[in-house]
Chain A
Amino acid sequence: MPQIAQIADTYSSQIFWLLLTFGLVFFVIGLGMVPKVQGTADARDAKISGDLDAAKAAFARADEAEADYRTRDAASRAAAQATLAKAKSEAAKASEVRLAAADAVVAEKIAAAEARIKGASDAAMTQIETVAADAARDMVARISGVEASDDAARNAVKAALAHG
Chain B
Amino acid sequence: MAESGKIDPMHQFAIEPLFGTDHWSLGGFNIAFTNSALYMVLAAVVLWVFVIGGMKRELVPGRWQMAVEYMTGFIKNLLVANIGDKGRKYIPYVFSLFMFILLANLLGLLPLGLIGMHPFTFTSHFTATGVLAIMSFSIVLIVGFYKHGFHFFSLFVPHGTPIAMVVPLFFIELVSFMVRPFSLGLRLFVAMTAGHVLLKVLAGFVINSANASPALGFTVGTASFILMIGISALEMLVAVIQAYVFALLTSVYLNDAENLH
Binding site for B on A (CB under 8 A): 1-3, 6-7, 9-22, 24-26, 28-31, 33-38, 40-41, 43-44, 47
How many Å lie between the Cα of A47 and that of B135 in the bound state? 37
* Chain B residue nearest in CB terms to A43: B59
Q: Indicate whether A41 sits within 8 Å of B73 (C-beta atoms), given known contacts A3-B13, A28-B48.
A: yes
Is A21 in contact with B48, judged by CB distance below 8 angstroms?
no
Is A36 in contact with B33, judged by CB distance below 8 angstroms?
no
Q: Indicate whether A41 sits within 8 Å of B15 (C-beta atoms), given known contacts A14-B128, A16-B29.
A: no
User: Size class of B's contact patch?
Assistant: 35 or more
> Chain B residues near A19 (CB, 8 Å)?
131
Residue of B55, B125, B126 near A33 (CB, 8 A) is B55
* Chain A residue nearest in CB terms to B34: A13
> Chain A residues near B193 (CB, 8 Å)?
3
How many Å lie between the Cα of A26 and that of B135 in the bound state? 12
How many Å lie between the Cα of A116 and that of B93 in the bound state? 126
B100 interface contact, C-beta 8 A: yes
> Chain B residues near A14 (CB, 8 Å)?
15, 34, 36-37, 122, 125, 127-128, 131
Is A6 in contact with B14, judged by CB distance below 8 angstroms?
yes
B interface, over-half SS = helix
How many Å lie between the Cα of A36 and that of B59 in the bound state? 13
Q: Indicate whether A2 sits within 8 Å of B128 (C-beta atoms), given known contacts A24-B44, A25-B96, A25-B100.
A: no
- Closest Cβ of chain A to B40, distance in Å, is 4
Q: Indicate whether A16 sits within 8 Å of B91 (C-beta atoms), given known contacts A2-B10, A3-B189, A34-B51.
A: no
How many Å lie between the Cα of A47 and that of B60 in the bound state? 11
18 A-B residue pairings within 8 Å (CB atoms): A2-B10, A3-B126, A3-B127, A12-B30, A13-B32, A13-B34, A13-B36, A14-B15, A14-B125, A16-B26, A16-B31, A17-B36, A19-B131, A25-B47, A26-B96, A29-B48, A35-B91, A38-B73
Is A37 in contact with B68, judged by CB distance below 8 angstroms?
yes
* Chain A residue nearest in CB terms to B31: A16
B62 interface contact, C-beta 8 A: no
How many Å lie between the Cα of A15 and that of B29 in the bound state? 11
Mask, B129-162, CB within 8 Å of A = 1, is 0011001000000000000000000000000000
How many Å lie between the Cα of A94 and that of B79 in the bound state? 88
* Chain A residue nearest in CB terms to B37: A17
